[in-house]
């Protein structure tokens, strides 16, 4: 159903979007196994490129992403996961979205547009 | 400002989102040169992996994407372009979004959820 052979090392990008607000929360990568587990469990699984392993999003933080809808693009090499984000935040920094910085009008700097909703030190210490 | 060294072959994913509706329209890739041209012109430029060249989105179809806002993620290796999509559609199939297919509830098929807003044969013939 997905064209995993098109991705570098069999990885395809998954755009994660908040089902209710439409906010883009993060981008992560899936391989076939994480895709299979996502469909089987209804919880977003990715491939962690830094840790080189399957990653159930929220396995450390408890901030699991429940799959509401999956959309597939014209080339079947990118997906959108529309999710309900548990714990209110997707980003390891404690921000709701990983895209919490906006390019300034003069293109010279990144402006932080919101405050963290959790303290990473507390959440990841557990 | 962006971490191009983190991407395969210096390419980073750009998620393209409709500024008004929040709909995810497509995903494409940027390199440093396309990033520079996007900032300089206010029109989305990408790197075409199939044609191996800089690509002004809309150069054939006229369906240019005007940049309204750019957001940058926590790792500075993915961006969101919030755009005004000229010509009403981003996808080369004539659909408004490249993500015009939804995974069915049983996970067995892809359901087309909308109709094309233009005829590709007509638009790309010009």
Looking at every residue in chain A, the average pLDDT score rounds to: 95
Task: Look at residue A90 and tell me if it is in a domain.
Answer: yes
Looking at every residue in chain B, the average pLDDT score rounds to: 95
Task: Look at residue B43 and tell me if it is in a domain.
Answer: yes
B48 touches chain A (CB under 8 A): no
What count of other Cβ atoms lies within 10 Å of the Cβ of residue A117? 12
Task: Look at residue A126 and tell me if it is in a domain.
Answer: no
Instruction: Please name the member of B15, B91, B103 whose beta carbon is closest to the beta carbon of A15.
Output: B15
Q: Tell me, what CATH number does B18's domain have?
A: 3.10.20.810
Q: How many CB pairs under 8 A join A and B?
A: 87
Number of domains in chain A: 1
Residue B126 pLDDT > 60: no
Q: How far apart are CA A44 and CA A90, in angstroms?
A: 12
Question: Is B103 close to A73, i.e. CB distance below 8 A?
Answer: no
Gap between the terminal Cα atoms of chain A = 38
Task: Look at residue B56 and tell me if it is in a domain.
Answer: yes
pLDDT at A81 (0 to 100): 98
Note the pTM of the prediction, 2 decimals: 0.96
Span A14-39, mean pLDDT? Answer: 98
Q: To the nearest whole angstrom, how far is the Cα of A126 from the nearest Cα of chain B?
A: 22
What count of other Cβ atoms lies within 10 Å of the Cβ of residue B4? 16
Task: Look at residue B126 and tell me if it is in a domain.
Answer: no
Beta strands in chain A, from DSSP E residues, in sequence order: 12-18, 24-30, 45-48, 53-56, 65-72, 79-85, 101-103, 110-112
Confidence band of A21 (pLDDT split at 50, 70, 90): very high
pLDDT at B76 (0 to 100): 97
Q: Phi and psi dihedrals of B81, rounded to 5?
A: -95, 115
* Pairing label, strands A79-85, A12-18: parallel
Complex ipTM tops 0.90: yes
Closest chain A residue by Cα to residue B13: A13
Span B64-77, mean pLDDT? Answer: 98
Question: Is A27 close to B13, i.e. CB distance below 8 A?
Answer: yes
Q: How far apart are CA A43 and CA A36, in angstroms?
A: 11
Q: How far apart are CA A32 and CA A102, in angstroms?
A: 33
Confidence band of B4 (pLDDT split at 50, 70, 90): very high
Percentage of residues of chain B with pLDDT beyond 70: 99
pLDDT at B93 (0 to 100): 95
Task: Look at residue A60 and tell me if it is in a domain.
Answer: yes
Higher pLDDT, A78 or A8: A78
Task: Look at residue A22 and tell me if it is in a domain.
Answer: yes
Residue A82 lies in domain: 4-121
Using an 8 Å CB-CB cutoff, list chain A residues near B75.
Answer: 98
Task: Look at residue B110 and tell me if it is in a domain.
Answer: yes
């Amino acid at each position: 159903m997905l064209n995993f052979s098109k991705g570098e090392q069999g990885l395809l990008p998954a755009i994660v979007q908040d089902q209710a607000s439409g906010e883009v929360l993060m981008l992560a990568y899936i391989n076939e196994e994480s895709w299979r587990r996502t469909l089987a469990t209804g919880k977003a699984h990715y491939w962690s490129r830094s840790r080189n392993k399957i990653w159930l999003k929220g396995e450390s933080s408890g901030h699991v992403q429940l799959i509401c809808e999956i959309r597939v693009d014209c080339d079947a090499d990118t997906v959108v996961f529309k999710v309900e984000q548990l714990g209110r935040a997707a980003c390891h920094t404690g921000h709701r979205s990983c895209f919490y910085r906006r390019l300034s009008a003069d293109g010279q700097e990144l402006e932080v547009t919101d405050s963290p909703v959790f303290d990473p030190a507390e959440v990841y210490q557990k």
